[in-house]
Amino acid sequence: MAQQTDQPRTDRWNTPEMQAYRREVREATFTKEGMMVAFPTCFPGMTTAIVPDESRITSLDVTPAGVVFGGTSGYRAHLFAAGFHGIMGIVFDLGIVEDATECVAVCCGKTHFAAFVNGPGGGRAIQAPLVRMDSDLIQEWGFQRPTLKDLGQCAAGEPVVHAVADPQSNLIVGTTTKHVFRLSLTTGRIQIVGEAPAGGKLARASARGIVGRDSERTLWHFDVRTSTFRRGALQLPEGEWKQPLSWARDTQSGVLYTADGAGQLYSFDERTGFSRPLGQVPVAPVGPMAVTLDGRVFGFCGEEMARLFCLEPERKKVTPLGGAASVIERRRYGYVFGDAVTGRDGEIIFGENDNGGHLWLYFPSIQAKQAGV
């Protein structure tokens, strides 16, 4: 009788359907497509990584040359620069920002960058020159930490929520808990341009306007060319808009992508407005996202154990890609991420918002050639 019972069970486990299911569970739990590489906050083998309780990576930006600038949060806030192209592979700690425990934004300009940090006294802007990373980092050791210039508070006593740069004008627009401000990277001057409640991250739209959430139904708009600030300027589509916004920008077209509280994804063009829903992620909320060079959007969704997803806007298709896992040199799993940018060659770089945070380089899978093309 035992043999008669075991035989059907053995056959059932070896069916094509069951093998496909087991493969799906085994392979799709972590990084179903593409390749993840977790890179420590150092020059591996040469320097020491940022200490664990000061290394939650919460802000990133990237220059046209592909140099990544970022900031951390924790017991103290650090600023860093990183390069991952050619034969470079380094995260260079630029230094500690005094009296700061959180870095909420890093914005790159033409010759300098600004970091926006929070501490006991409120939110401040810190300016430093862009770091060149064009040597091979093996034979040349000319690195020096730049001077971090404190430009002061952005709005007296108020924490900064986010900021974004318009590189063409060398201008940064940011928001505190109650105000919207602008910072000229040329002069270092900070100016309040209006009042608005904080609603998450800001974004630079397709016609160079800066947008941020104004209410559960509207966005405010700042025109960097005319310095015009308008509240209630743009209507949000139907959806759940109570949560802080997250954005991704297509650097080719300027089109933005965002999501509502239920995980519905939308595109936004400054000239034509919001699209209809493009798809829904498996779990909400949607966290950091970035757009690769072929127009696909990659990001994380969910809290505490975030899951990677891919949005193909033209097909209105969302594909779950599993959790973050890196198996190159050292095995590491990633659960919480604070920001994302697109690298020089289309790779997506995620900042890990966790103790001992790494920069996660995601290399998307190459799409199959379509029949007849």
- The string of DSSP letters for 175-240 reads EESSEEEEEETTT--EEEEEE----B--EE-TTSEEEEE-SSSEEEEEETTTTEEEEEEEEPPSS-
Tens of pLDDT along 108-141?
Answer: 999 999 999 999 999 999 999 998 876 555 555 5
Q: What is the pLDDT of residue 309?
A: 97
CA distance 349 to 339: 8
CA distance 269 to 263: 19
| CA triple 229-179-353, angle to 5 deg | 115
Tens of pLDDT along 225-278?
Answer: 999 999 999 999 999 999 999 999 999 999 999 999 999 999 999 999 999 999
For the chain, the first-to-last Cα distance in angstroms comes to 58
CA distance 324 to 352: 10
CA distance 100 to 352: 19
CB of 260 closer than 8 Å to CB of 239: yes
Give percent of the chain with pLDDT exceeding 70: 92
Using only C-alpha atoms, the chain has a radius of gyration, in whole angstroms, of 22
Q: In the chain, what are the domains?
A: 32-134+145-363 (2.130.10.10)
Q: What is the pLDDT of residue 85?
A: 87
CA distance 316 to 278: 5
| CA–CA distances in Å: residue 198 to residues 291, 297, 359 | 25, 25, 27
The DSSP element (H or E) to which 60 belongs, if any, is strand 56-62
Tens of pLDDT along 272-298?
Answer: 999 999 999 999 999 999 999 999 999
| CA triple 109-43-114, angle to 5 deg | 20
Q: What is the pLDDT of residue 283?
A: 95
Can you tell me which residue has the tokens 């924790």? 74
Question: At residue 2, does pLDDT exceed 70?
Answer: no
Buried b (16+ CB within 10 A) or exposed e, 337-356: bbbbbbbbeebbbbbbbbee
Tens of pLDDT along 315-358?
Answer: 999 999 999 999 988 899 999 999 999 999 999 999 999 999 99
Q: What is the pLDDT of residue 1?
A: 43
- The letter for the amino acid at 258 is T
Question: At residue 37, does pLDDT exceed 60?
Answer: yes
Q: What is the pLDDT of residue 25?
A: 65
Round the average pLDDT of the chain to a whole number and report it: 92
- The letter for the amino acid at 73 is S
